[in-house]
Chain A
Amino acid sequence: AQTVTQSQPEMSVQEAETVTLSCTYDTSESDYYLFWYKQPPSRQMILVIRQEAYKQQNATENRFSVNFQKAAKSFSLKISDSQLGDAAMYFCAYRSLQGAQKLVFGQGTRLTINP
């Protein structure tokens, strides 16, 4: 079974600075998807960025980018120019391409933005 680990329960960053959230996962599969979701106080999970395992190029979405290290099974999220609206719980998630295409989530990292 796949597992996802986020080792940082909480992180904080100054507004306009850069922060990196860590995520590692364990799988024996070669093809899969990885995601970062954001959950603000409204509770709705919002997709931030996704990465297909077969792509070597790291995904980017505006101020959000990932560092995908397939061999190391590492998938970190970098947020540049942090904004107050980035404050939320961030979840790393894995989805297999075979069998149950469910999302396997990490425990989450609570990100605080200091003004």
Chain B
Amino acid sequence: KAGVTQTPRYLIKTRGQQVTLSCSPISGHRSVSWYQQTPGQGLQFLFEYFSETQRNKGNFPGRFSGRQFSNSRSEMNVSTLELGDSALYLCASRETGENTEAFFGQGTRLTVV
């Protein structure tokens, strides 16, 4: 099976712009979660989607949003970018059920200038 695929791998945006990141989960995985990784704050949970519904959301402002499509692919969007949004954004997918592990993609490195 192919792993979790995130696109693009690198992105440079200007303050005030918006950005959309994409995540294709492992085939058969219906749960997709997003995490932000920064040197200062470490790894923080953004949100989780399951069957096209947002199941959980972390403590991030409304500028951060996401969605999931019927094929389980997910996108996250950040509007009105700030310098502090520069981070590695990681996506993880897992199968249904509590006794399952999360598999991560290689992330998208977003730089806001």
Check B106 against A43 for contact (C-beta < 8 Å). Answer: yes
| B21-29, B67-75, B96-104: which lies at the interface | B96-104
Range class of the B interface residue count: 20 to 34
Measured between C-beta atoms, what is the minimum distance from B41 to chain A in Å? Answer: 9
- Report the separation of the CA atoms of residues A110 and B43 in the bound assembly, to the nearest whole angstrom: 15
In the complex, per-residue mask of B81-113: 1 if CB is within 8 Å of any chain A CB, else 0: 000000010101000001101111111010000
| Cross-chain contact of B42 among A50, A102, A108 (Cβ < 8 A) | A108
**Bound Cα distance A108, B37 (Å):** 11
Tell me if B's interface is mostly helix, strand, loop or mixed. strand
Residue of B nearest to A105 (CB): B43
Total contacts A to B, CB within 8 angstroms? 49
What is the CB-to-nearest-CB distance from A3 to chain B, in angstroms, rounded to a whole number? 11
Number of interface residues of A (CB under 8 A): 22
Give the residue of B42, B56, B58, B92 whose beta carbon is less than 8 angstroms from that of A45: B92
In the assembled complex, which residues on chain A have CB atoms less than 8 Å from the CB atom of B106? 42-44
Q: How far is the CB of A53 from chain B (nearest CB, A)?
A: 12
| A42: chain B residues within 8 A (beta carbon) | 106
| A69–B98 alpha-carbon span in the complex (Å) | 22
Which residue numbers of A lie inside 8 Å of B, CB to CB? Answer: 35, 37, 42-47, 50, 52, 91, 97, 99-108
